[in-house]
Amino acid sequence: MKLLKYIFSAVLLTGLLAACENEVHTLSKSEKSIDEQSSQLLLSEAAVAKEGKIEKETDWLKDKSLFQFEAKEGTFKFKVFVYAEDEQNIANSKESGKKPAYKGHYAFYLAENDSADAYKQGALEDLGPFTFQLPLKQAYSLNMGDHTILAILQSDEHGNYNPYLFTIKNGEVVQLHSDSAFGPISDNEMKVIDQEYIQTAYDMGEGNWKFTTWKFDAQTYTLMKADETVLDDKEINGVKSGEYWYNLWSEKKEHYFPFKNLQLSKDVIEKAKQGIPLGNPYPIGTNIENIKKANPDYMEKGIYNNSPYIMYPDITFYYEEDTEIIKAVSIPGERVKTTLAEIEKLFGKPAKIISLPNDAGQQLIYMADKYIIKIDGDAEGKVTAICLQKNI
């Protein structure tokens, strides 16, 4: 009797399984189960792509790799190792400049944050041998929001650096490309601005410096050139402008060269009537101490026309010495990249036009109730500064 029950149960189970199988086979691609869709999503966003890749233990790589970084892609966290099977110690050789150095066909090894295994990536090794002088900062990571960019720099015979940038995409390390030539650069440091931009500096010779700003597009994994400015040998405070700005730029990681990030519109004058400067949240009348507490990394402070000032990369505040109240604000012309002619088209005829000393250019003056907007332009008509101050 029990045997008959077992046979009946087996037949019933077989029938149910067959029915389920037929049901699954009739589902369309758009009607796949939630579990299957979730699995495919995890595969498409795999933490580390492993198939067909050489594997090494992360504990071993921690001892053997020349560099290692923490990195992320979206919600995934990784460990990245830089290791070469054929690494050579070339310390004290002519190629190393008599400094500690290593050479080899280096590769990235990518591991999930707490994984015991890492998987070899071809993006770096495919570029050929690399030389690293350990006193120099030739490998580091840049935090760009939910993504990490890995920077590998190679020095050339002129003392410049050729940068190679990489990021993690769908569980693999891939080389990051730009919409135009990236490099060479004169400083091995690349500045990250607001986790959205990368800025580089390059000495073009004869007193000319080029500052280039790149915007990282997380959708296309591409660097787009946002701005490029070349400074000539004109002097600022007795120093050539390019050298002056490079000295400020290289002093701290928070320091950068101002770049085009503002769009002029007619409401500039309406905001100015309320004492609100273009491109900054602090209105005239704010205490300078409040600004310094919120933004301690200013680039320069001093006295100009008997007024103390504090200069940040994108704005300069002038304040009363006794009360420390902001009385004027100036932004560099690089943030708008326009001309005096375009300003007049947008704002109309100015209240006054003043010639700057030594034929340096012109200044347009616009009235904004209790405030004045002063717009300086050079001899070619390019806007060099926009200043808002009280109408005394």
| pLDDT tens digits, one per residue of 242-263 | 999 999 999 999 999 999 999 9
**Angle ∠(262,259,223) on CA atoms, nearest 5:** 100
Q: Is the dihedral of CA 236, 239, 243, 246 positive or negative?
A: negative
Q: Which two tokens stand for residue 11?
A: 């037949």
Nearest residue to 212 (alpha-carbon basis) of 195, 233, 194, 193: 193
Residues 119, 74 within the same domain: yes
Residue 200 lies in a domain: yes
Phi, psi angles (nearest 5°) of residue 354: -120, 135
The pLDDT of residue 57: 98
Residues 67, 80 within the same domain: yes
Residue 297's CATH number = 3.40.33.10
Residues 118, 151 within the same domain: yes
Residue 33 lies in a domain: no
With contact defined as beta carbons under 8 Å apart, do 333 and 315 qualify?
no
Which of 149, 175, 201 terminates a domain? The answer is: 175
With contact defined as beta carbons under 8 Å apart, do 346 and 360 qualify?
no
Residue 12 lies in a domain: no
Which of 175, 202, 233 terminates a domain? The answer is: 175
Long-range contacts of 23-31 (CB under 8 A, 24+ apart): none
The pLDDT of residue 369: 94
Residue 112 lies in a domain: yes
Interatomic CA distance for residues 347 and 365, integer angstroms: 11
- DSSP code, position 287: B
> Strand 326-332 vs strand 316-319: parallel, antiparallel, or unpaired?
antiparallel
Q: Where are the alpha helices (DSSP H) in 138-181?
A: none
Residues 75, 127 within the same domain: yes
Residues 315, 341 within the same domain: yes
The pLDDT of residue 159: 86
Which residues span the domain enclosing 200? 180-257
Interatomic CA distance for residues 272 and 373, integer angstroms: 8
The pLDDT of residue 272: 95
Gyration radius from the chain CA atoms: 30
The pLDDT of residue 92: 75
The pLDDT of residue 13: 34
With contact defined as beta carbons under 8 Å apart, do 141 and 148 qualify?
yes
Nearest residue to 222 (alpha-carbon basis) of 166, 261, 151: 166
User: Which regions of the chain are under pLDDT 50?
Assistant: 1-44
Interatomic CA distance for residues 109 and 60, integer angstroms: 12
Residue 321 lies in a domain: yes
The pLDDT of residue 380: 94
Residues 48, 165 within the same domain: yes
Which of 257, 292, 316 terminates a domain? The answer is: 257
Residue 228 lies in a domain: yes
Q: Is residue 38 classed as helix, strand or coil in its secondary structure?
A: helix
Q: Where are the alpha helices (DSSP H) in the chain?
A: 2-25, 34-44, 58-64, 241-251, 267-272, 288-294, 340-347
Residues 274, 213 within the same domain: no
The pLDDT of residue 338: 97
The pLDDT of residue 95: 67
Interatomic CA distance for residues 375 and 311, integer angstroms: 18
- The total domain count for the chain is 3
Say how many residues make up the chain. 392
Q: How many CB atoms lie within 10 A of CB 36?
A: 11
Q: Which residues contact 30 (CB under 8 A, 6 or more apart)?
A: none
325 DSSP β-pair partners = 287
Element spanning 230, H or E: strand 222-231
